[in-house]
Structure 1
Amino acid sequence: MSTVDERAPGAHEMGPYAATFVAGVTVRNRLPLDYSVASLRIVDCLIDGMRRGGADRERARETLWRLGAYVGEVLVRRAGAVWVDFDADQRAYFGQAVGVRMPDGRVWNPLGKVHNRFEAGGPGESLQIFYLTLHGRARRAAA
Protein backbone atom coordinates (compact mmCIF):
# COMPACT_ATOMS: atom_id res chain seq x y z
CA MET A 1 0.00 0.00 0.00
CA SER A 2 1.36 3.40 -0.90
CA THR A 3 1.76 6.19 1.56
CA VAL A 4 -0.41 9.27 1.17
CA ASP A 5 1.59 12.06 -0.46
CA GLU A 6 0.46 15.31 1.11
CA ARG A 7 2.05 17.23 -1.80
CA ALA A 8 -0.25 15.53 -4.28
CA PRO A 9 -2.90 17.58 -6.08
CA GLY A 10 -6.31 17.79 -4.43
CA ALA A 11 -9.56 16.66 -6.03
CA HIS A 12 -10.19 20.05 -7.65
CA GLU A 13 -6.75 19.90 -9.34
CA MET A 14 -6.96 16.37 -10.75
CA GLY A 15 -8.74 17.17 -14.04
CA PRO A 16 -6.22 19.86 -15.04
CA TYR A 17 -3.36 17.66 -13.77
CA ALA A 18 -4.49 14.79 -16.02
CA ALA A 19 -4.99 17.16 -18.96
CA THR A 20 -1.44 18.53 -18.62
CA PHE A 21 -0.08 14.97 -18.56
CA VAL A 22 -2.11 13.96 -21.63
CA ALA A 23 -1.02 17.06 -23.56
CA GLY A 24 2.62 16.26 -22.86
CA VAL A 25 2.59 12.58 -23.75
CA THR A 26 0.39 12.90 -26.80
CA VAL A 27 2.63 15.56 -28.34
CA ARG A 28 5.90 13.75 -27.58
CA ASN A 29 4.82 10.17 -28.14
CA ARG A 30 1.70 10.41 -30.26
CA LEU A 31 -0.17 8.24 -27.80
CA PRO A 32 -3.92 8.25 -28.41
CA LEU A 33 -4.92 9.09 -24.86
CA ASP A 34 -8.35 10.52 -25.65
CA TYR A 35 -10.17 9.68 -22.40
CA SER A 36 -11.97 6.80 -24.07
CA VAL A 37 -12.53 3.44 -22.44
CA ALA A 38 -10.41 1.90 -25.22
CA SER A 39 -7.49 4.16 -24.23
CA LEU A 40 -7.28 2.34 -20.90
CA ARG A 41 -5.79 -0.59 -22.81
CA ILE A 42 -2.96 1.76 -23.81
CA VAL A 43 -2.43 2.58 -20.14
CA ASP A 44 -2.25 -1.18 -19.43
CA CYS A 45 0.41 -1.52 -22.14
CA LEU A 46 2.40 1.48 -20.88
CA ILE A 47 2.51 0.04 -17.37
CA ASP A 48 3.45 -3.39 -18.68
CA GLY A 49 6.28 -1.78 -20.66
CA MET A 50 7.56 -0.04 -17.55
CA ARG A 51 7.59 -3.38 -15.73
CA ARG A 52 9.37 -5.15 -18.59
CA GLY A 53 11.87 -2.29 -18.75
CA GLY A 54 12.83 -2.96 -15.15
CA ALA A 55 11.49 0.24 -13.61
CA ASP A 56 11.34 0.02 -9.85
CA ARG A 57 8.42 1.45 -7.93
CA GLU A 58 10.32 4.57 -6.81
CA ARG A 59 11.51 5.45 -10.32
CA ALA A 60 8.04 4.80 -11.72
CA ARG A 61 6.18 6.61 -8.94
CA GLU A 62 5.51 9.93 -10.68
CA THR A 63 4.54 8.34 -13.98
CA LEU A 64 2.21 5.92 -12.21
CA TRP A 65 0.61 8.81 -10.37
CA ARG A 66 0.02 10.63 -13.65
CA LEU A 67 -1.43 7.52 -15.25
CA GLY A 68 -3.68 7.10 -12.22
CA ALA A 69 -4.90 10.67 -12.66
CA TYR A 70 -5.65 9.87 -16.29
CA VAL A 71 -7.59 6.72 -15.37
CA GLY A 72 -9.57 8.70 -12.81
CA GLU A 73 -10.34 11.36 -15.39
CA VAL A 74 -11.64 8.67 -17.76
CA LEU A 75 -14.01 7.64 -14.95
CA VAL A 76 -15.06 11.27 -14.56
CA ARG A 77 -15.68 11.82 -18.26
CA ARG A 78 -17.11 8.43 -19.20
CA ALA A 79 -18.71 6.99 -16.07
CA GLY A 80 -20.12 10.07 -14.35
CA ALA A 81 -17.65 10.04 -11.45
CA VAL A 82 -16.39 13.12 -9.62
CA TRP A 83 -13.01 13.63 -8.01
CA VAL A 84 -13.14 13.71 -4.21
CA ASP A 85 -10.65 14.35 -1.44
CA PHE A 86 -10.62 11.29 0.78
CA ASP A 87 -11.40 11.65 4.47
CA ALA A 88 -8.91 10.35 7.05
CA ASP A 89 -10.34 6.82 7.10
CA GLN A 90 -10.37 6.60 3.31
CA ARG A 91 -6.81 7.90 3.15
CA ALA A 92 -5.71 5.23 5.58
CA TYR A 93 -7.56 2.52 3.67
CA PHE A 94 -6.60 3.51 0.12
CA GLY A 95 -3.20 5.06 0.80
CA GLN A 96 -4.14 8.01 -1.41
CA ALA A 97 -5.43 11.51 -0.78
CA VAL A 98 -7.89 11.57 -3.68
CA GLY A 99 -10.17 9.25 -5.56
CA VAL A 100 -13.47 9.28 -7.39
CA ARG A 101 -17.07 8.97 -6.28
CA MET A 102 -19.43 7.24 -8.67
CA PRO A 103 -23.03 8.35 -9.32
CA ASP A 104 -24.30 5.65 -6.93
CA GLY A 105 -22.03 6.96 -4.14
CA ARG A 106 -19.34 4.26 -4.31
CA VAL A 107 -15.77 5.47 -3.93
CA TRP A 108 -12.93 4.09 -6.05
CA ASN A 109 -9.17 4.53 -6.05
CA PRO A 110 -7.88 4.73 -9.65
CA LEU A 111 -4.41 5.81 -8.46
CA GLY A 112 -4.11 2.65 -6.38
CA LYS A 113 -5.45 0.53 -9.23
CA VAL A 114 -2.62 1.78 -11.47
CA HIS A 115 -0.09 0.90 -8.75
CA ASN A 116 -1.65 -2.57 -8.48
CA ARG A 117 -1.26 -3.07 -12.23
CA PHE A 118 2.40 -2.13 -11.94
CA GLU A 119 3.03 -4.39 -8.95
CA ALA A 120 1.03 -7.44 -10.03
CA GLY A 121 0.55 -7.05 -13.76
CA GLY A 122 -1.56 -9.48 -15.68
CA PRO A 123 -5.13 -9.42 -16.90
CA GLY A 124 -6.56 -9.47 -13.38
CA GLU A 125 -5.31 -5.91 -12.88
CA SER A 126 -6.30 -4.56 -16.31
CA LEU A 127 -7.49 -0.96 -16.14
CA GLN A 128 -9.76 -1.43 -19.13
CA ILE A 129 -11.43 -4.43 -17.49
CA PHE A 130 -11.62 -2.45 -14.24
CA TYR A 131 -13.71 0.14 -16.07
CA LEU A 132 -15.87 -2.38 -17.90
CA THR A 133 -16.74 -4.23 -14.68
CA LEU A 134 -16.95 -1.12 -12.51
CA HIS A 135 -20.00 -0.91 -10.26
CA GLY A 136 -21.80 2.40 -9.91
CA ARG A 137 -21.01 4.00 -13.22
CA ALA A 138 -23.60 6.09 -15.03
CA ARG A 139 -25.53 4.22 -17.66
CA ARG A 140 -25.83 5.95 -20.99
CA ALA A 141 -29.27 6.06 -22.56
CA ALA A 142 -29.69 3.73 -25.53
CA ALA A 143 -29.62 5.54 -28.85
Structure 2
Amino acid sequence: MTTGPGGATSGSTGPQQTRPAAASKPVRWAADAVATMREGARLRLDYSEQSLWRVDRVIDGIRRERPPYAAVETALRDLGAYAGEVIVRRTGGEWWATGGDHWVRTPDGRLWDPIDEARRCFAGDGSLRLLCRDASGAGHP
Protein backbone atom coordinates (compact mmCIF):
# COMPACT_ATOMS: atom_id res chain seq x y z
CA MET A 1 0.00 0.00 0.00
CA THR A 2 1.09 3.55 -0.62
CA THR A 3 1.40 5.79 2.39
CA GLY A 4 0.47 9.43 2.46
CA PRO A 5 1.02 12.17 5.02
CA GLY A 6 1.38 10.93 8.56
CA GLY A 7 1.94 7.37 7.35
CA ALA A 8 -1.74 6.84 6.53
CA THR A 9 -2.51 4.63 3.58
CA SER A 10 -4.10 5.99 0.45
CA GLY A 11 -6.50 3.09 0.26
CA SER A 12 -5.00 1.68 -2.92
CA THR A 13 -3.38 -1.66 -3.45
CA GLY A 14 -0.42 -0.34 -5.37
CA PRO A 15 1.24 2.77 -6.73
CA GLN A 16 -0.49 2.48 -10.11
CA GLN A 17 -3.89 2.80 -8.42
CA THR A 18 -3.03 5.83 -6.26
CA ARG A 19 -3.73 8.50 -8.89
CA PRO A 20 -7.10 7.23 -10.11
CA ALA A 21 -8.46 6.43 -6.64
CA ALA A 22 -7.26 9.65 -5.03
CA ALA A 23 -8.12 11.83 -8.02
CA SER A 24 -11.68 10.71 -8.67
CA LYS A 25 -13.41 13.07 -6.23
CA PRO A 26 -11.27 16.21 -6.71
CA VAL A 27 -11.36 15.87 -10.50
CA ARG A 28 -15.18 15.70 -10.33
CA TRP A 29 -15.27 18.66 -7.90
CA ALA A 30 -13.04 20.67 -10.27
CA ALA A 31 -15.37 19.90 -13.18
CA ASP A 32 -18.30 21.01 -11.02
CA ALA A 33 -16.52 24.33 -10.39
CA VAL A 34 -15.93 24.83 -14.12
CA ALA A 35 -19.61 24.14 -14.89
CA THR A 36 -20.90 26.31 -12.04
CA MET A 37 -18.69 29.27 -12.98
CA ARG A 38 -19.66 28.95 -16.64
CA GLU A 39 -23.39 28.72 -15.97
CA GLY A 40 -23.79 30.88 -12.87
CA ALA A 41 -21.11 33.55 -13.19
CA ARG A 42 -20.56 33.35 -16.96
CA LEU A 43 -16.89 32.84 -16.21
CA ARG A 44 -14.78 30.49 -18.31
CA LEU A 45 -12.25 28.41 -16.42
CA ASP A 46 -9.77 26.62 -18.68
CA TYR A 47 -7.39 24.95 -16.19
CA SER A 48 -4.73 27.56 -16.87
CA GLU A 49 -2.64 29.20 -14.18
CA GLN A 50 -4.04 32.56 -15.33
CA SER A 51 -7.60 31.42 -14.60
CA LEU A 52 -6.71 31.27 -10.91
CA TRP A 53 -6.66 35.09 -10.87
CA ARG A 54 -10.37 34.93 -11.65
CA VAL A 55 -10.98 32.24 -9.03
CA ASP A 56 -9.24 34.34 -6.35
CA ARG A 57 -11.45 37.30 -7.32
CA VAL A 58 -14.59 35.14 -7.20
CA ILE A 59 -13.74 33.94 -3.68
CA ASP A 60 -12.94 37.51 -2.62
CA GLY A 61 -16.35 38.61 -3.91
CA ILE A 62 -18.08 35.82 -2.01
CA ARG A 63 -16.19 36.77 1.16
CA ARG A 64 -17.27 40.42 0.85
CA GLU A 65 -20.90 39.29 0.80
CA ARG A 66 -20.29 37.63 4.21
CA PRO A 67 -22.34 34.47 3.74
CA PRO A 68 -22.17 31.82 6.44
CA TYR A 69 -19.36 29.34 5.79
CA ALA A 70 -21.83 26.45 5.57
CA ALA A 71 -23.51 28.16 2.61
CA VAL A 72 -20.28 28.27 0.57
CA GLU A 73 -18.39 25.24 1.85
CA THR A 74 -19.07 23.09 -1.23
CA ALA A 75 -18.25 25.90 -3.65
CA LEU A 76 -14.94 26.53 -1.85
CA ARG A 77 -14.11 22.81 -1.95
CA ASP A 78 -14.85 22.74 -5.68
CA LEU A 79 -12.78 25.86 -6.41
CA GLY A 80 -9.92 24.48 -4.34
CA ALA A 81 -10.09 21.21 -6.25
CA TYR A 82 -10.05 23.20 -9.49
CA ALA A 83 -6.84 24.93 -8.36
CA GLY A 84 -5.41 21.56 -7.40
CA GLU A 85 -6.17 20.17 -10.82
CA VAL A 86 -4.44 23.19 -12.38
CA ILE A 87 -1.37 22.34 -10.28
CA VAL A 88 -1.56 18.65 -11.24
CA ARG A 89 -1.76 19.49 -14.94
CA ARG A 90 0.95 22.15 -14.75
CA THR A 91 3.47 20.17 -12.72
CA GLY A 92 2.72 16.54 -13.56
CA GLY A 93 1.76 16.04 -9.91
CA GLU A 94 -0.89 13.73 -8.57
CA TRP A 95 -3.75 13.76 -6.10
CA TRP A 96 -3.29 12.01 -2.76
CA ALA A 97 -6.09 11.19 -0.36
CA THR A 98 -6.13 10.15 3.28
CA GLY A 99 -9.00 10.15 5.73
CA GLY A 100 -11.23 12.21 3.45
CA ASP A 101 -8.60 14.92 2.90
CA HIS A 102 -7.10 15.53 -0.54
CA TRP A 103 -3.68 16.96 -1.37
CA VAL A 104 -1.62 17.44 -4.49
CA ARG A 105 1.84 15.89 -4.48
CA THR A 106 4.19 17.56 -6.94
CA PRO A 107 7.02 15.59 -8.58
CA ASP A 108 9.53 17.11 -6.12
CA GLY A 109 7.67 15.30 -3.31
CA ARG A 110 6.03 18.36 -1.74
CA LEU A 111 2.39 18.20 -0.64
CA TRP A 112 -0.04 21.06 -1.32
CA ASP A 113 -3.55 21.57 0.07
CA PRO A 114 -5.48 23.67 -2.47
CA ILE A 115 -8.85 22.91 -0.87
CA ASP A 116 -7.68 24.34 2.44
CA GLU A 117 -6.12 27.27 0.56
CA ALA A 118 -9.56 28.08 -0.90
CA ARG A 119 -10.88 28.18 2.67
CA ARG A 120 -8.04 30.52 3.64
CA CYS A 121 -8.93 32.73 0.65
CA PHE A 122 -12.47 32.93 1.97
CA ALA A 123 -11.06 33.95 5.36
CA GLY A 124 -9.04 36.69 3.62
CA ASP A 125 -5.66 35.03 4.04
CA GLY A 126 -4.80 33.01 0.95
CA SER A 127 -4.41 32.91 -2.80
CA LEU A 128 -4.93 29.98 -5.14
CA ARG A 129 -2.92 31.77 -7.82
CA LEU A 130 0.07 32.15 -5.51
CA LEU A 131 -0.26 28.55 -4.30
CA CYS A 132 -0.09 27.37 -7.91
CA ARG A 133 2.89 29.62 -8.59
CA ASP A 134 4.71 28.23 -5.55
CA ALA A 135 3.79 24.62 -6.33
CA SER A 136 4.90 24.89 -9.94
CA GLY A 137 8.17 26.54 -8.98
CA ALA A 138 7.51 29.63 -11.13
CA GLY A 139 10.33 32.07 -10.78
CA HIS A 140 12.80 29.35 -9.78
CA PRO A 141 15.51 28.41 -12.29
TM-score over 0.5 for the pair: yes
Which runs of no fewer than 5 residues in structure 1 stay unpaired? 1-8
What's the TM-score, normalizing by structure 2?
Answer: 0.73
Identity, in percent, stands at 37
- The answer to whether the 8 A contact 2:114-2:131 is kept is no
Q: 1:27 — aligned with what? A: 39
- Show the counterpart of 2:117: 113
Show the counterpart of 1:128. Answer: 129
User: Which residue among 77, 85, 100 is the counterpart of 2:89?
Assistant: 77
Q: 2:48 maps to what in 1?
A: 36
The match for 2:66 is 54
Task: Give runs of aligned pairs for residues 91-106 of structure 1, distance below 5 A.
Answer: 97-106=101-110
In the comparison of the two structures, how many residue pairs are matched? 118
> 1:68 and 2:80 equivalent?
yes
Contact 1:10 1:97 in 2 (8 A): no
What's the Cα RMSD here? 2.1
Paired residue for 2:29, among 10, 17, 20? 17
Deviation at 1:138, TM superposition (A): 7.3
- Runs of 4+, deviation exceeding 3 Å: none
Q: Which SS does the other structure have where 1:47 is aligned?
A: helix
Give the letter aligned to residue 35 of structure 1. Answer: Y
**Aligned residue type for 1:54:** R
Distance 1:48 1:54 in 2: 10
Determine which structure has greater relative contact order: mean sequence separation of CA pairs < 8 Å that are 6+ residues apart, divided by chain length.
1
Normalised to the residue count of structure 1, the TM-score between the two structures is 0.72
